[in-house]
Structure 1
Amino acid sequence: MMLSDVMEDYLKAIYQLQRGTEDRIKTSEIAEELEVTSPTVTSMLDKLEERGLVDREKYRGVTLTDEGETVALEVVRHHRLLEAYLTEHLDYDWSEVHAEADRLEHHISEDFEARVADALGEPEVDPHGSPIPSPELEPPDRPEGEPVSEFEEGETVVVEEVADRDPEILSYLADHGVEPGVELEILEVAPFGMVTARSSGADDPVSLPDHVAHHVRVAQPAQLEQ
């Protein structure tokens, strides 16, 4: 099935919005994710529904069909493998790779994808900790981390994943040692959303404003051992 880059972008966006929820995805959520208008989303959803890639219910939103999910998983796999390759072999900073991978993900062959995966040793996650779908395009099978702002003062958590879209946030986190695999001690959670934490090996605490903390997903060490 030949799809345009834009169609694949929509399927990927719906897949990512579906993470951690069983609810249908609303038109307004897709519009915000892709930074387009709601009428533009509605027009594209008409096309995707005609091709059997999404299931729509009036006033309730959409979900991916099995075929739509397979397409989305392939695009996500391409994207995350490319991010890993760019950081590990081409010396890109992790704050730079999202935009590059966005441009390349639609245009690599399956042979190229396989060679990249082999060169990387078939990684399970990308540089930001996001799980990479398997070569069989199965959804990643691992528990969802929670935003660091959901935890309480005195708790210790491990960073699992950080959102990859905002270069400034990624640079800020890297400068303060907040990366996947790093242990954080929650020192304070202010009423207005500011989280103050200390990363393992750091002398000074790091302040995570609400809009930054929302992008940092963590789990308690005991959860990771299960």
Structure 2
Amino acid sequence: MTLSEENYLKTIFHLYDQHQQEVSTNAIAEVMNTKASSVTDMLKKLADKQLINYRKYQGVTLSEEGRCQAIAIIRKHRLWEVFLVEKLQFSWDEVHEIAEELEHIQSDKLIERLDAFLGYPKKDPHGDLIPNKEGEFSEAAQTLLSELKDGDRRTLVAVKNTSKEFLVYLNKMEIALGDTIEVLSKEPFDNSMLLKVNDHKVSLSATVCRNIYVND
């Protein structure tokens, strides 16, 4: 499988996971920053390899084999992110692009040894679940920060938005995984929140709060 084909499978997996419905050509084109016609050409190739279920003008889903391949790529990506942060001291906003390259290494033995070396981690540095070698994800008991009420106290366990810009913003606000967050007040007008994060206060917009997960 080519690098481009792997990227398409991963993109389809994430889009379906977000919306739980057939993924449109335009949605794939937007994420991958390419033309819809180019997406259609690739979808035909993936369908010929029986990696996707493709209906013209209807959308696309992964076949069982395609889903297995996508999960394997995601597993490699997230394990490499753990390695880069824990062993090479990269920050969580630096690792995505590097892991994008490392995830295409074709060696099952390397990945299994990497998993063991890291102590079989369950989550990556952004709080995303890491599937095991059977492709299974553990259950995530989490909710969005935006759903909390005044006085609620939780632990930050993951971020929904893993873009470099968002992670840099959280660094600037001195917010990280594992932090204790207490809701001091929620503004009815715009749903912004005044929070106590560990020992300092911070005000976050509704958009930011909708991109942070805390434990249930």
Short-chain TM bin: 0.7 to 0.9
1-side partners of 2:18 and 2:142: how far apart? 9
Greater mean deviation of Cα atoms: 8-17 or 34-43:
34-43
Q: For the residues of structure 1 that align with 2:35 and 2:191, how far apart are their CA atoms?
A: 29
| 1:32 equivalent in alignment to 2:30 | yes
**Which of these residues, 188, 204, 209, is aligned with residue 213 of structure 1?**
209
Aligned-residue CA RMSD (Å): 2.2
Identify the match of residue 155 of structure 2 among 131, 154, 158. 158
- Gaps in structure 1 of 5+ consecutive residues: 221-226
CA-to-aligned-CA distance 1:59-79 (integer Å, 9 cap, x gap): 332111110010001100100
Q: Partner residue of 1:72?
A: 70
How far residue 14 of structure 1 moved from its aligned partner, in angstroms, is 1.3
Distance in structure 2 (CA, Å) of the matches to 1:15 and 1:87: 25
The verdict on how the C-alpha distance between 1:37 and 1:90 changes in structure 2, with shifts beyond 3 A counting, is same
Shift of the alpha carbon at 1:193?
A: 5.4
Output the CA distance in 1 between the equivalents of 2:58 and 2:29: 15
CA distance in 1, matches of 2:169, 2:110: 33
Residue in 1 aligned with 2:80?
Answer: 82
Aligned length: 215
Q: Offset of 1:47 from its aligned partner?
A: 1.2
Listed one character per residue, the Cα deviations across residues 90-127 of structure 1 (whole Å, up to 9, x for unaligned) are: 11111100000001110251121122111100101011
Pairwise CA distance, 1:158? 3.1
Contact 2:192 2:203 in 1 (8 A): no
Give the letter aligned to residue 24 of structure 2. Answer: K
The equivalences for 1:122-161 within 5 A come to 122-138=120-136, 140-143=137-140, 145-161=142-158
Overall identity of the aligned pairs, in %:
31
Alignment of 1:35-50 (within 5 A): 35-50=33-48
Report what 1:185 is aligned to. 182
Q: Which moved more, 1:151-160 or 1:43-52?
A: 151-160
Tell me, in whole angstroms, the C-alpha distance in 1 between the residues paired with 2:180 and 2:150: 14
Change in 2 beyond 3 A, CA 1:66/1:42 = same
Q: Which amino acid aligns with 1:81?
A: L
Distance 2:193 2:4 in 1: 37
- TM-score for both structures, normalised by structure 2: 0.87
Please give the TM-score of this superposition, normalised by the length of structure 1.
Answer: 0.84
Q: Which blocks of at least 5 consecutive residues in structure 2 are unaligned?
A: none
Q: For each residue in 1:121-168, what CA deviation from the matched residue of structure 2 results, as whole angstroms up to 9, or x when unmatched?
A: 010101111000101222x13147444334444433432211464223
